[in-house]
Structures are given as structure tokens and as C-alpha cells.
Amino acid sequence: MRRGPSARRGSPGRSGARRRPGADRGRILRAARLLLQGIGETDLRRDQRATPRRVADTWTADIVSGYRSDPARILGKTIPADGHDLVVVRDIPFTSVCVHHLLPFQGTAHVAYVPGARLVGLSKITRAVDALARRLQLQERLTRQVVEALARALRPLGAACTMEAEHLCMTVRGTRKKGTRVVTAAYTGAFRSSPALRAEFLRLAGGPAGEGARR
């Protein structure tokens, strides 16, 4: 008997999220070998013997390991909220990779939400940031994805995120301006409609990201 559309394997749920298989180690291994051949280094051949394997392991297990993680699942275990007081988790370190040049950018995130009916463990927020960061990314998109993940999982009255990072694509190539920092911010719900709430979040976040973040 033919299955109807609702019974198809691998169909996304109501949220549209799909389970990600993760990075393909074998292809990354072959790509690393081609990269070394393209660079043409010959004096260090003995040192390069294990390089493709090391590159494949590092990218798969660490640098883009976020593709194997589901932020919705990470944030899915919640508890009832007793009130609607502001929650801020600040100074979350993160590392990601620029999708344009495959060079790292790293910095600090500050995340906040005003609970609706549910709360989530604070460590889950840091794990969700890490899961989204350890992918090929744009900082602007990453910042937005953090607040959208919170909004979908918790249905808060509002969510906010600011990120400040240094991009190697700006410091080791192109303009080569070492020390340049990129600050991004994203808001939903009450943070969009209330300048006072945004100001309180930025004050509590502190630091350059808190002081200089713009919507």
C-alpha cells in the first residue's frame, strides 16, 4: 500500500526542521589531499603524511560539528516559569567559520529572553549557541538564528542576542586590519517594541558588544 504524503520517511515536522547527517569525513579527507597538492609544498612531505587525516578529523569532530546537533532538541527540555523577569546569559565564547573564505571568526555572545510560560536550563542556551556556531556561517545570520531558536523552543515574550567577533578573513587577508571587531544584534518580541528593555539588556550584557550593538 502506497504511503500518503504525511507518512513519508524523512519528512520534516511542523517546525520544518530536518535531522542533519553531519559533515562527510571522507570527502573532507580527499579535499585536504587536493588542497596540499594544489599548494605544492614539497620540502615538508614527511610532515604532511598525516595532515589530511588530521584536517578531516578536526573539521568533522570540532569545526563543523554543529551540523550533527539540533538546537530545538537542545532547548526542548523546559520547566514552568514563575514570572516574566529578564534572563541574561552573557560572555558565551564561540568559534565559527566564515562561509565566504572558510576562515574562522571567534568572539563572545550575550543572549537574553523574557520568559513566557517556560524556562530552559542556562547551560542549554550556551550549547545551542555552540551548535549553531560550529557550522559555515555569517555572523549576522548566526545572531538571528540564536534568537529564532529561542523563540521557537520557548515562545518567550521576547529574545535577544548580541555577538562581537574578530574575523580572520579581515585580519589575515584583504584589508588585514588586526583587532577589527564585528558587532551584530538581533531581537524578537518585547525587545523589538521596547527601547527600555533593549537598553536594560545591553547594560547587563556590558562590554563592547553591549555598548555598541545595533539592531
Q: In terms of DSSP H, where are the helices of the chain? A: 25-39, 45-48, 51-58, 71-74, 122-133, 139-154, 168-171, 190-193, 195-205, 207-212
Cβ atoms of 118 and 154 closer than 8 Å: yes
Q: Are 126 and 75 contacting, i.e. CB atoms less than 8 angstroms apart? A: no
% of the chain exceeding 70 in pLDDT: 86
CA gap 136, 159 in Å, rounded: 23
Task: Please tell me the least confidently modeled range out of 21-30, 40-49, 102-111, 159-168.
Answer: 40-49
Rounded to an integer, what distance in angstroms lies between the CA atom of residue 160 and that of residue 118? 16
Domains within the chain, CATH numbers bracketed: 25-66 (no CATH), 79-212 (3.30.1130.10)
117-161 pLDDT, tens per residue? Answer: 999 999 999 999 999 999 999 999 999 999 999 999 999 999 999
